[in-house]
Amino acid sequence: MKIQGRLCVLTLERPHGYSYDAGQYCDIRIGEVSRSFSFLSIPSDGELKFGIEIVKDSLFSQALMSISGGEDILITQAQGRYQIDENYEKLTLLSGGIGVVPHLSFLDDLAIKGKLVMVRVLASYRGQEFFADKLKSFEGKGANVSITNTSTQSRFDFSDLSFAENEGVYICGSSEFVSNTIGDLSDRCTNLHFETFSG
């Protein structure tokens, strides 16, 4: 487990035969507390990795911070349908805060399959820029990456964005981020997919 500010990267042994797709999530149980977390790792990795925001007053964050090693951490089977449809010619990935996690898994997975082309990445943060360096590492390798931090900058202005007919738009973050973004884009793009990070 690695902690950097409010980010915890949790690495777990991958159970034998455990399968998942990039963009999916599972429930992680520590003691009595269970919450859903998207995979940060990709299916070809040997370990399972998660990027977890440490939240004040969160029961799960408290349970996570109390781990000293040796505890049982239970995970469910992979769930969810937030997955890239590889038939799209272009992709736009829009995240708010820790909602960047499944998008990193998408990017790594596409890169390893040699399919990282025409991907536009927009990540918005309100404070700590989770995995911003990792995101920037995809710049110029088939992805165009823009990051904004609303603690010092204004929100993304989506009014200038245009979308191709066969473009998949993926939105992930808090329910407020997801609903605002869908509201901004729904009249201009048809292929919207979203994952909401709320309990």
* Interface residue list for ligand FAD (CB under 6 A): 25, 34-38, 51-53, 55, 58-60, 80, 98, 101, 195, 197-199
Give the count of beta carbons closer than 10 Å to the beta carbon of residue 126. Answer: 15
CB nearer to ligand FAD: give 108 or 195: 195
The answer to whether the beta carbons of residues 143 and 120 sit under 8 Å apart is yes
Q: Of the two residues 96 and 168, which places its CB atom closer to ligand FAD in the complex?
A: 96
The residue with its CB nearest to ligand FAD is 199
Residue 188 CB, nearest approach to ligand FAD (Å): 26
Got the DSSP string for 2-49?
A: EEETTEEEEEEEPPTT----TT-EEEEEETTEEEEEE-SS-TTSSEEE
Residue among 80, 74, 92 at smallest CA distance from 39: 80
Nearer to ligand FAD, 128 or 149 (CB): 128
- The nearer residue to ligand FAD, 61 or 163, going by C-beta atoms, is 61
Least Å distance, CB 105 to ligand FAD, is 9
Q: Are 119 and 110 in contact (CB under 8 A)?
A: yes
